A and B are shown apart, each in its own frame.
Chain A
Amino acid sequence: MNVYLLSPAISLCGLAIVVILLDLFLKRKWILGAVSVAGLIVPAAFTLALWGREETSFNGMLAVDEFSLFFNLFFLVCAALVILASMDYVSKFRAFQGEYYALVLLAATGMMLMASTRELISVYVALELTGISLYALTGFLKDPKSSEASLKYLLLGAVASAVLLYGMAMVFGLSGSTHFKDIAAAIPGDVMGNPALLMGMVLLVAGFGFKIATVPFQMWVPDVYEGAPTPITAYLSVASKAAGFAVILRVFYEALGPVSLDWGMMFGVLAAITMTLGNVVAIAQTNIKRMLGYSSIAQAGYLMIGLAAVSALGRSGLVFFLIAYAFTNLGAFIAIIAISNKTNSDLISDYSGMAKRAPLLALALGLCLISLIGIPPTAGFMAKIYIFNAAVDHDLMWLVIVAVVNTAISAYYYLRVVRVMFLGAPLSEEAVPSSGALRAALSVACIGVLLLGVYPWALLKIAETAVSMFP
Chain B
Amino acid sequence: MTVGLEHFLILSAILFSIGLYGALAKRNAVVILMSIEIMLNAVNIAMVAFSRYGHLITGQVFAIFIMVVAAAEAAVGLAIIIAIYRSRETVDVEKFDLMKW
Interface residues of A (CB under 8 A from B): 120-121, 124-125, 128, 131-132, 135-136, 139, 142-145, 147-152, 154-155, 158-159, 161-163, 165-166, 168-170, 172-173, 176-178, 219, 222-223, 226-227, 290
Taking a contact as CB atoms under 8 Å apart, the answer to whether B59 and A172 are in contact is yes
> B84 at the A/B interface (Cβ < 8 Å)?
yes
Residues on the B chain within 8 Å of A128, using CB: 69, 72-73
Residues on the B chain within 8 Å of A290, using CB: 99
| 0 or 1 for each of B34-71: is its CB under 8 Å from A? (1 = yes) | 00100110110011001000101011011001100100
Residues on the B chain within 8 Å of A165, using CB: 40, 43, 66
Taking a contact as CB atoms under 8 Å apart, the answer to whether B40 and A226 are in contact is no
Tell me the total A-B contact number using a CB cutoff of 8 A: 128
State which of A120, A163, A173, A222 has its C-beta within 8 Å of the C-beta of B54.
Answer: A173
A370 to B42, CA, bound (A): 48
Across the interface, name the chain A residue whose C-beta is closest to B101.
A223
A140 to B20, CA, bound (A): 28
Q: In the complex, how many angstroms separate the beta carbon of B90 from the nearest chain A beta carbon?
A: 11
Residues on the A chain within 8 Å of B12, using CB: 169
User: Secondary structure of the A side of the interface?
Assistant: helix
A108 to B84, CA, bound (A): 26
| 0 or 1 for each of B70-82: is its CB under 8 Å from A? (1 = yes) | 0011001100110
Taking a contact as CB atoms under 8 Å apart, the answer to whether B99 and A222 are in contact is yes
Q: In the complex, how many angstroms separate the beta carbon of A202 from the nearest chain B beta carbon?
A: 14
Taking a contact as CB atoms under 8 Å apart, the answer to whether B84 and A172 are in contact is no
Taking a contact as CB atoms under 8 Å apart, the answer to whether B76 and A159 are in contact is no
A132 to B72, CA, bound (A): 8
> Could you show 10 A-B contacts with beta carbons less than 8 Å apart?
A124-B69, A145-B98, A147-B80, A147-B84, A149-B99, A151-B96, A159-B20, A165-B43, A173-B50, A222-B100
Q: In the complex, how many angstroms separate the beta carbon of A292 from the nearest chain B beta carbon?
A: 14
A441 to B61, CA, bound (A): 43
Q: In the complex, how many angstroms separate the beta carbon of A220 from the nearest chain B beta carbon?
A: 10
Taking a contact as CB atoms under 8 Å apart, the answer to whether A155 and B62 are in contact is no
Residues on the A chain within 8 Å of B23, using CB: 155, 159
Taking a contact as CB atoms under 8 Å apart, the answer to whether A155 and B32 are in contact is yes
Taking a contact as CB atoms under 8 Å apart, the answer to whether B65 and A169 are in contact is no
Taking a contact as CB atoms under 8 Å apart, the answer to whether A158 and B77 are in contact is yes
> B29 at the A/B interface (Cβ < 8 Å)?
yes
Taking a contact as CB atoms under 8 Å apart, the answer to whether A178 and B62 are in contact is yes
Taking a contact as CB atoms under 8 Å apart, the answer to whether B98 and A125 are in contact is no
Q: In the complex, how many angstroms separate the beta carbon of A216 from the nearest chain B beta carbon?
A: 13
Taking a contact as CB atoms under 8 Å apart, the answer to whether B99 and A148 are in contact is yes
Taking a contact as CB atoms under 8 Å apart, the answer to whether B98 and A172 are in contact is no
